[in-house]
Amino acid sequence: MNPLHRLFNPRSIAVVGASDRPNSIGARALDNLLVHSQFDGEVYLVSTSKAELFGRRCWPSVRDLPATPDVVMVVVPASATIEVLEQCADRGVAFAVVLTSGFGETGEEGLAVEAQMRAIAARSGMRIYGPNCPGVCNVNARLGMTFSPSFPHDLRPGPIGIATQGGGLGRNIMQAMERGIGVAMWSSSGNEVDLQVADFIDYMADAPDIKVIVTLIEGIKDGPRLVRALQKAARNDKPVVALKVGRSDYGARAAASHTASITGSAEVNSAALKQLGVIEVDDIDELVDTAWLLARQMPAFKPGGDAVAVYCGSGGAAALTADIIGQQGVKLAQFAPETTAALLAKLPSYAAVGNPVDTTTAVLSQPGLFDATLLDTCRDPNTALVVIPLAIDYGKVTDDTAEAVVRVQQQSPVPIVVIWMSDRLGKAFSTYAQAGIVPSRSVGKAVKAIRRWMDHGHWRQRSDRLDWQPWPTAGAAPAAGPATPLGEAEAKALLGAAGIAVPRSGLARTRDEALALAARIGFPVVAKVASADILHKTEVGGVAVGLHDAAAVGTAWDRIHASVRERAPQAVVQGLLVEQMAAAGGVEVLVGVSRDPVFGHVLTFGLGGIYVEVFKDVSRRLLPLTRAEAERLVREPRSFALLDGARGRPQADVAALVELLLKVSDFVGAHAQQIDEMDLNPVWVGPAGQGALALDAVIVGRLDTAAGGAA
Amino acid sequence: MNPLHRLFNPRSIAVVGASDRPNSIGARALDNLLVHSQFDGEVYLVSTSKAELFGRRCWPSVRDLPATPDVVMVVVPASATIEVLEQCADRGVAFAVVLTSGFGETGEEGLAVEAQMRAIAARSGMRIYGPNCPGVCNVNARLGMTFSPSFPHDLRPGPIGIATQGGGLGRNIMQAMERGIGVAMWSSSGNEVDLQVADFIDYMADAPDIKVIVTLIEGIKDGPRLVRALQKAARNDKPVVALKVGRSDYGARAAASHTASITGSAEVNSAALKQLGVIEVDDIDELVDTAWLLARQMPAFKPGGDAVAVYCGSGGAAALTADIIGQQGVKLAQFAPETTAALLAKLPSYAAVGNPVDTTTAVLSQPGLFDATLLDTCRDPNTALVVIPLAIDYGKVTDDTAEAVVRVQQQSPVPIVVIWMSDRLGKAFSTYAQAGIVPSRSVGKAVKAIRRWMDHGHWRQRSDRLDWQPWPTAGAAPAAGPATPLGEAEAKALLGAAGIAVPRSGLARTRDEALALAARIGFPVVAKVASADILHKTEVGGVAVGLHDAAAVGTAWDRIHASVRERAPQAVVQGLLVEQMAAAGGVEVLVGVSRDPVFGHVLTFGLGGIYVEVFKDVSRRLLPLTRAEAERLVREPRSFALLDGARGRPQADVAALVELLLKVSDFVGAHAQQIDEMDLNPVWVGPAGQGALALDAVIVGRLDTAAGGAA
C-alpha cells in the first residue's frame, strides 16, 4: 500500500476551523465535504466557538476528539496553525492538510513558521500537505478536502491523475472536463513544506484507478525524489505528461518568485525528463490533448506502423492537416491495398481515396457510407490512429457525423482524434465531449499531441527503457571546500589513468627536456604553456601547433616564453606541456559534464564551435550513461551528419567516441562528490578505427591529485 | 473605383436557376438573398420552368431580362452553365458568379468546360467568379450571393476581409465571429477560372471598410498578380495575414490535388510573402488571433518600446505566460519608475509589481483596485500591449473581471490581449467576445499572435518597405529552347564582365600556356580540367590546388590529364582552367539563384556546407535585390556569426559580399528570360577590405555566349 493511501482514501476526517460564516474557507471546506462529497467515513468538526454546526457536534480541539482521524484538514487562521499541527502530531494523526495561506509566500516570517511545520513533521512522522493550497480533489472517490467553490463543478471521474504545486493551473486542467476528460484525482502541494509533487506522482504510479499522470513542474525541491517517482511510473507503464514552467529566462524568474523553488536549467530539465520517459509539452492545453490521447489508448504499433490516416469531407481541411502532420514529423500511413480497394468501391470517383481520404460531401447523402468508410480507414493495418479535422460546425450534418464517429470509435482498433477547428461549439461538440472523444481545438495542437503519442510509443519499444539507475551517491552534497580547476596536465593524467585516451604528453621544465620529450612522443607535437595562473593560453601566445622537428620545438620554447613574459608577466610558468598532435581528418567534438542542482551530474555532447554556440545543437543525459543511451546521445545532434560521413568526409570512429563517453561517465561516478564540472573540448574523433582523443581538458572540483603528467 | 466594386456592391442582381425546391441550391441562394440580406437593389429571377417564385416574376432567360444586371448568380446545373454564361456575355453583364459545382474538380471533361468559360471571359470582358464556390458574403453590406445555409448565422460586421479559394476553411474563419471577430466580407474563388484570390486582395486593399486582409494560399495561379495585390495592400497600410497550405510534402501533395494549382516551394513562398510584408501564420486559428489583434490596433511603438506587460492574479498563469513570451522572443517591458511606484502604492506587499504583475486575489476584494492597477499597467510608457492570462473560469469573479477589462480597454492606449485558457466558457467569455476583445484560446497561440504583431510593427518602421519593384519582365515566359549548363570558364567570364569578382583565370590549351598563364596570374594558383563533358571535376582527379610554382603547375598538367584520360576516357578536354587561389582566412558562402514557377527569380544565401544541408540555415529574397534587402539578407542566417567575427575569426568583408549580391541581381535581371539557375558555390569572402570572389560558378539556362576566359 502506498504511504499516501490513507491521505487520499481516508476512513475518517477532522475539519479544524469548521465554520458556518458564509464564504469563509471553513464553511466552504465543510460544504464540499458534507454536501458535495460522497464520503461515508467519519467526519469530526473542530471549532473553538461553536458546539454544533449544521446539526453536527463540534469538538473544541483535536485533543478532545473521540478518535484519531486519518486526515485533519486545517482551515484555521495562519496564526493558529502551529498549535493545531502540534496537537495533531501529539495525537498521532497521519496526515494534516493545511489549506490556510499566509506563510512562506508572504515573506521571511512566514518562512520561519514553515520551518516549524517541517520540524513537527520530522519529529512526529506526521505528513503535512500544503500549506497555501486548494487541497485534495479525489474525483473518483467523490471526496473533496478543499475549500474551492469549483469542486462541485469539476466531478467527471476518469483515469487521469493531476499533480501540481499551484492551484490555478491545476484547476485549469480540471476544467478540461468540459471538453470530456475524466480525472481520477487532483492533488496540489502548495508551499510544499513536506509533501511534494513527487510524492503525489509516486502515489499515482501505484493507484489502480489512474492510467496517466499529468504534472506541472513549477520548481523542483528534491530531484532524486522526483526521479524515483518518475521511474516508478515508468515501471508501472503509466505515462507522465509534464509541463515545465521556467524554460525561458522570463519564465524561470517568474516561476522562482512564484514557488520559491529551484527551476534549474531548462535544457537539463528537459533532457532529464525525456531520459526518464516523461512526455514534456509546451503549453497547458497540450497537457490535456496529450494525456487524454494516452489515456484513451496506449501507443502500440508494429515497426513502421507509427503512421496516421486523415479522414475528412473537406479538401482544404484535409490538406491543412496533412501539411501540419508533415511539418511535425508524423507519418501519413500508406494504406494497404485492401483499404484502398474498399474505399474505391464505396466512395464516388471524384473522392480522394489516398491518404488524406477526402470523402467529399458524398458521405452525407448516402446512409451508412460515412460509418463504413471511416471504419475501413480505422482498420487499415498500417494506421495507428485516425484524425478527423472538422473545419466548420454545420449544424445537423455535423451532429449526425458526431454520432457516427462515436459509433465507429466503439468498433475501431485505433483511436480517432477529432479536431474541432471552429469557434462555434454546437451540439456535436458536446456529443464528442460526452463520449470521451475529447476534441482538440486546433490542428497544430492536435498534431503535436499525436506526435508525442507516437514518440512515447517508440520509447515504450526500447528494451532498455527501465535500465537507468542513478548512482548511490545521487542527491548527496558535494564534498566540502571550494571548487578549483585542475591544471591541464593534471586533468589529463587523471583522465589517462581512467582509461580515457589523451594525447601522449609530458611536462618539460627546461628547453632540453622539451626537445627530448618531443622526440619520445613522436613528431608532430603541440606545445602549450604550463601555468596554473594562465586560463586562456592562446590569448597570451602560449600555444604552438604543428611542430614537425626538434628545431621547431626549440623555437616554440623561446617564442612562448617570450610572449608569456610580455603578456602575462605575473604568471608562474612551470614549463611547457608537450603533446602528440592529433592527425588531420578527424572531427572535433565537445564533451561536458556539469552538476545540476536538481538532477546531479549531466553530460553534454555536441560538435563544438558554431554548432553549439549558435545552433545549440547538443544532446544531454543524466549520468551514469548506459551504453544504449550513449549510442543514442551521439546520434541526436543534427550535426551528427559530420561524424557520419557527410560532405565526403570519412566515417568517424563513433565506437571509440562511445567508449570514451562511457569512461567519462565511470570517471565522474568514481569522483561524484568531488567533480563539479568537466570540459573535454575538443575531443578529436578520428576516422573509423583511429580512436578518439581528449585534446584539452578542464576539471573543476575538489579532486585531490598527486598525479603528474608523463608521456 | 476598384474594378471589382460592382461585383461586391451591385445595384442589381439576377439569379439564374432560381427555384423553390426545398434544399436546392437555387432555393437556398434565393433565401439568402431575399430573406437574410438587406439588399435594396433590383433582383431578377430567371427560371426556365416557373413564371413566378415567392411572389416575384421570373424571366425565362437572361436574354429576356428587362435590364442588364451588374451581377448574375448562376445556380443552374453544370450542363446548362455555358449557355447561361454565353447569354450573360452577350448581354454585357459585368460579373457572373458561378456557384454550381461539377467542373474541373471532377476530371478532364470538367476542365474542358472551364476552358470554355475562360474563353467567354476573355472574348467578352465579363469577369467570372467560381465555379464550385460558396459565393460572396458581403457582411458589412449584409448581402449574401451564396447558397450556404450558414450565411444567416455569420453576420457580425467588422474590419476583416477574407479571401480564400476553398469554402471550408473560409467558413471556419467566419465562425470565429463566435469569439468576437467582425468580418467585412468573405470572398472565395473556387476553381478560379478567371477571378483569383489575388483579385479579391486587390479589391480589399481599396475597400474603405476593410482594415486587415486574411487569406489562405492553397495554390497560386498567377504569381505577379498576387505580388501586385499584396503590394497595393502594403501601400494602403493594410496588413495581409496569410496561411499557406502546402509547406510540407504531405501538405503540398494534398493541396495540389485539392486545388489543382501550383503550390511552389514552401521556402520560396514564405520568403516571398515575408519580403512583401505578409504576415504568415502556421495554423488557421492563428490567422484569427493575429488578424484581429492587427484590426484592433496597428502596431506602433517607439524604438525599444516593442515590449509587453503581463497582468494576472495567478502566479502560475503569470509564470507560464512569461515563459512562453520568452521562448517566442517577445520582450517583457521594463516598467517605468512611475508605473512601479503606482502599483506598489496600490497593491498589497506580497503582490508582485514587477513584470509579470501578479496582483494575487487582493484585487478582487477591493473595489476599483483591479481597474486602477490594470490601467496603470496599460499606461506604462514602455509597454506596447498588455496580456491577461485567465487560467480558470471562476464564475462571478471572472464575470466581474471581464467587465472591468472591457472598461479599462476603453481608456487604455494599448491593446489588452486576454487569454482564455479554460475549456469552460462562462458568461465572461461572451463578455469579452461581445466587446471585441476576442480571447485567445491558448497561451502559445496568443503569444505567437503578439510576436507577429510586434514583427509587423518592425516591418512598418522600415523606410524601404515599399521600395521593391519586380522587373518589367516578371511573369514573362522563359526564352524558348532547352536549358543547358555553361562551362565554368564561360560562366566566370560572363560574371566577370558583369562586375562580379571572380579569380583571375584563363584557359590554357597547352602545358606551356598553363605555365605562362600561372605566372601572369600570380602564384599560388589552382588548376581544373576544362571539359564540357565533365560535371564533377574532383571525382575524375581533375582539380589541383595550392600550386606554388611553375614546376607544380607542370606536374599538375601531367597528373590531371593522365587521371582524366583514365577515369573519363570519352571526355573531350579543352585544356586546364588556371586560376588565382583565394587567400586563407576567408569564409566560404553560397549564393544561388533559381526561377520559382510562381514568383520568378529568387536568390538564396547561406554559409554553405553543413549549415545549409543540415540546418537549412539560408535566407532568400525575390529578385531584384535592393541594397537594404541585401544588407538584411546576409545577416539573417544564424551562421552569420561566422562572418561577423565569431570564434576569434576576423570580421569578414560583408560590404564586398553585399556588392557581389547586388551585381548578381543585376546580372540575372539583364538575362532574366535566359537564366534558370545559378550556383556560385563557394563564394570566398575575405577579411574586411579583402573583397569577395566567386570561386566556382554554374549557370543553367539559354545564354548565348561567345565570351572566352582570359586572365
B610: nearest CB among A106, A319, A646: A646
pLDDT 10s digits, A292-321: 999 999 999 988 899 999 999 888 999 999
pLDDT 10s digits, B410-452: 999 999 999 999 999 999 999 999 999 999 999 999 999 999 9
| A283–chain B nearest CA distance, Å | 6
Query: Residue B186, CB half-sphere, CA atoms under 13 Å: how many?
Result: 33
Q: How sure is the predictor about B673, in pLDDT bands with cuts at 50, 70 and 90?
A: very high
pTM of the entire structure?
Answer: 0.94
Task: Supply the pLDDT for residue A710.
Answer: 34
- Checking B402-407 for CB contacts under 8 A at 24+ apart, the result is B402/B427, B402/B428, B402/B429, B402/B431, B402/B432, B403/B431, B404/B370, B404/B371, B404/B374, B405/B374, B405/B432, B405/B437, B406/B431, B406/B432, B406/B435, B406/B437, B407/B371
Mean pLDDT of chain A: 93
pLDDT at A262 over 90: no
3-state helix, strand, coil in chain A (%, to 5): 40, 20, 40
Residue A55 DSSP code: T
The answer to whether A251 contacts B323, with C-beta atoms less than 8 Å apart, is: yes
The answer to whether B249 contacts A443, with C-beta atoms less than 8 Å apart, is: no
CA distance A485 to A465: 36
The answer to whether B394 contacts A647, with C-beta atoms less than 8 Å apart, is: no
Mean pLDDT of chain B: 93
Which of A602, A311, A250 is closest to B320 using CA atoms? Answer: A250
| B153–chain A nearest CA distance, Å | 10
Residue A76 DSSP code: S
Which of B527, B529, B520 is closest to B554 using CA atoms? Answer: B527
Closest Cα in chain B to A151: B394
pLDDT at A558 over 80: yes
Closest Cα in chain B to A149: B394
- Reported in sequence order, the residue ranges of B273-317 that DSSP labels E, i.e. its strands, are 279-281, 307-312
Range A504-522 average pLDDT: 94
Q: Is the dihedral of CA A65, A68, A72, A77 positive or negative?
A: positive
Q: Dig out the grid coordinates for B3 from the structure.
A: 474594378
Q: Are A521 and A693 in contact (CB under 8 A)?
A: no
pLDDT at B610 over 80: no
Contact pairs from chain A to chain B, CB under 8 Å: 278
Chain B residues whose CB is inside 8 A of the A387 CB are: none
Percent with pLDDT over 90 in chain B: 79
Residue B686 DSSP code: -
The answer to whether A610 contacts B254, with C-beta atoms less than 8 Å apart, is: no
Query: Residue B484, CB half-sphere, CA atoms under 13 Å: how many?
Result: 12
For residue B22, say if its preceding peptide bond is cis, omega within 30 degrees of 0. no
Q: Are B594 and B601 in contact (CB under 8 A)?
A: yes
pLDDT 10s digits, B249-259: 887 777 766 65
The answer to whether B254 contacts A318, with C-beta atoms less than 8 Å apart, is: yes
Q: Are B696 and B538 in contact (CB under 8 A)?
A: no
Closest Cα in chain A to B617: A615
Range A703-710 average pLDDT: 53
Residue A634's φ and ψ, nearest 5 degrees, are: -70, -25
Task: Supply the pLDDT for residue B650.
Answer: 83
Q: How sure is the predictor about B297, in pLDDT bands with cuts at 50, 70 and 90?
A: very high
Strands A675-685, A95-98: pairing is: unpaired
Q: List Cβ neighbours of B272 (8 Å cut-off, separation of 6 or more).
A: B227, B596, B598, B599, B602, B620, B622
Q: Which of A376-385, A393-402, A481-490, A650-659 has the lowest mean pLDDT?
A: A481-490
pLDDT at B678 over 50: yes
Percent with pLDDT over 70 in chain B: 97
For residue A524, say if its preceding peptide bond is cis, omega within 30 degrees of 0. yes
pLDDT 10s digits, B88-147: 999 999 999 999 999 988 888 999 999 999 999 999 999 999 999 999 999 999 999 999
Size of chain B, expressed as the number of residues it contains: 711
pLDDT 10s digits, B542-590: 999 889 899 999 999 999 999 999 999 999 999 999 999 988 778 999 9
CA distance A566 to B482: 67
| A102–chain B nearest CA distance, Å | 10
B284: nearest CB among A255, A288, A320: A320
At B496, which helix (H) or strand (E)? helix B488-497
Q: Dig out the grid coordinates for B8 from the structure.
A: 461586391
The answer to whether A323 contacts B248, with C-beta atoms less than 8 Å apart, is: yes
Q: How many CB atoms lie within 10 A of CB B300?
A: 10
Residue B320 DSSP code: H
At B257, which helix (H) or strand (E)? helix B249-259
The answer to whether A647 contacts B609, with C-beta atoms less than 8 Å apart, is: yes
| A319–chain B nearest CA distance, Å | 5
pLDDT 10s digits, A15-28: 999 999 998 999 99
Chain B residues whose CB is inside 8 A of the A421 CB are: 172, 284-285
Chain B residues whose CB is inside 8 A of the A156 CB are: none
B615: nearest CB among A169, A392, A638: A638
Mutation site for B-interface testing, chosen from A393, A445, A450, A614 by largest number of B Cβ within 10 Å: A614
| B425–chain A nearest CA distance, Å | 9
| A385–chain B nearest CA distance, Å | 17
Mutation site for B-interface testing, chosen from A401, A424, A587, A617 by largest number of B Cβ within 10 Å: A424
Chain A residues whose CB is inside 8 A of the B317 CB are: 168-169, 172
Residue type at position B504: R
| B566–chain A nearest CA distance, Å | 22
Task: Supply the pLDDT for residue A711.
Answer: 34
B641: nearest CB among A106, A444, A614: A614
The answer to whether B285 contacts A421, with C-beta atoms less than 8 Å apart, is: yes
Task: Supply the pLDDT for residue B707.
Answer: 42
The answer to whether A325 contacts B248, with C-beta atoms less than 8 Å apart, is: yes
Q: How sure is the predictor about B261, in pLDDT bands with cuts at 50, 70 and 90?
A: low
The answer to whether B254 contacts A391, with C-beta atoms less than 8 Å apart, is: no
The answer to whether B315 contacts A168, with C-beta atoms less than 8 Å apart, is: yes
Task: Supply the pLDDT for residue B259.
Answer: 57
A258: nearest CB among B164, B168, B319: B319
CA distance A678 to A699: 4
The answer to whether B442 contacts A445, with C-beta atoms less than 8 Å apart, is: yes
Q: Which of A12-16, A66-70, A609-613, B598-602 has the lowest mean pLDDT?
A: A609-613
Which of B343, B344, B350 is closest to B376 using CA atoms? Answer: B343
Chain A residues whose CB is inside 8 A of the B356 CB are: 254
Q: Dig out the grid coordinates for B91 from the structure.
A: 448581354
The answer to whether B445 contacts A442, with C-beta atoms less than 8 Å apart, is: yes
Range B641-645 average pLDDT: 88
A316: nearest CB among B166, B332, B349: B166
pLDDT at A569 over 80: yes
Q: How many CB atoms lie within 10 A of CB B145?
A: 28
Mutation site for B-interface testing, chosen from A438, A610, A611 by largest number of B Cβ within 10 Å: A610
A250: nearest CB among B149, B283, B323: B323
| B198–chain A nearest CA distance, Å | 18
Q: Are A613 and B647 in contact (CB under 8 A)?
A: yes
Range A506-528 average pLDDT: 94
Range B293-305 average pLDDT: 93
Range A532-536 average pLDDT: 81
Chain B residues whose CB is inside 8 A of the A643 CB are: none
pLDDT 10s digits, A94-149: 999 999 999 988 888 999 999 999 999 999 999 999 999 999 999 999 999 999 99
Residue A502's φ and ψ, nearest 5 degrees, are: -125, 160
Q: Is B148 exposed, middle or buried (0-12, 13-18, 19+ CB in 10 A)?
A: buried
- Reported in sequence order, the residue ranges of B423-571 that DSSP labels E, i.e. its strands, are 484-485, 505-508, 525-530, 543-547
Range A256-264 average pLDDT: 58
The answer to whether A424 contacts B218, with C-beta atoms less than 8 Å apart, is: no
Query: Residue B411, CB half-sphere, CA atoms under 13 Å: how many?
Result: 13
Chain-centroid distance of CA A116 in Å reads: 32
CA distance B677 to A515: 57
Task: Supply the pLDDT for residue B338.
Answer: 97
pLDDT 10s digits, A364-383: 778 899 999 999 999 999 99
Chain B residues whose CB is inside 8 A of the A642 CB are: 610
pLDDT at B534 over 90: no
pLDDT 10s digits, B346-372: 998 888 899 999 988 778 778 899 999
Mutation site for B-interface testing, chosen from A249, A258, A618 by largest number of B Cβ within 10 Å: A258
Task: Supply the pLDDT for residue A613.
Answer: 77
Mutation site for A-interface testing, chosen from B154, B188, B610 by largest number of A Cβ within 10 Å: B610
pLDDT at A260 over 70: no
Q: Report yes or no for ipTM above 0.90.
A: yes
Chain-centroid distance of CA B289 in Å reads: 17
Chain-centroid distance of CA A494 in Å reads: 34
Q: Are B385 and B453 in contact (CB under 8 A)?
A: yes
- Collapsed DSSP state (helix, strand, coil) of residue A20: coil
- Checking B120-124 for CB contacts under 8 A at 24+ apart, the result is B120/B82, B120/B85, B120/B86, B120/B89, B121/B89, B121/B193, B121/B194, B123/B89, B124/B89, B124/B90, B124/B92
Chain-centroid distance of CA B236 in Å reads: 17
pLDDT 10s digits, A450-478: 999 999 999 999 999 999 999 988 878 88
For residue B472, say if its preceding peptide bond is cis, omega within 30 degrees of 0. no
Mutation site for A-interface testing, chosen from B28, B250, B537 by largest number of A Cβ within 10 Å: B250
Q: How many CB atoms lie within 10 A of CB B51?
A: 9
Q: How sure is the predictor about B706, in pLDDT bands with cuts at 50, 70 and 90?
A: low
CA distance A331 to A312: 17
| B708–chain A nearest CA distance, Å | 32
Which of B161, B171, B84, B170 is closest to B128 using CA atoms? Answer: B84
Q: Is A480 exposed, middle or buried (0-12, 13-18, 19+ CB in 10 A)?
A: exposed
The answer to whether A283 contacts B324, with C-beta atoms less than 8 Å apart, is: yes
Q: How sure is the predictor about B262, in pLDDT bands with cuts at 50, 70 and 90?
A: low
Chain B residues whose CB is inside 8 A of the A282 CB are: 324, 327, 444
| A203–chain B nearest CA distance, Å | 23
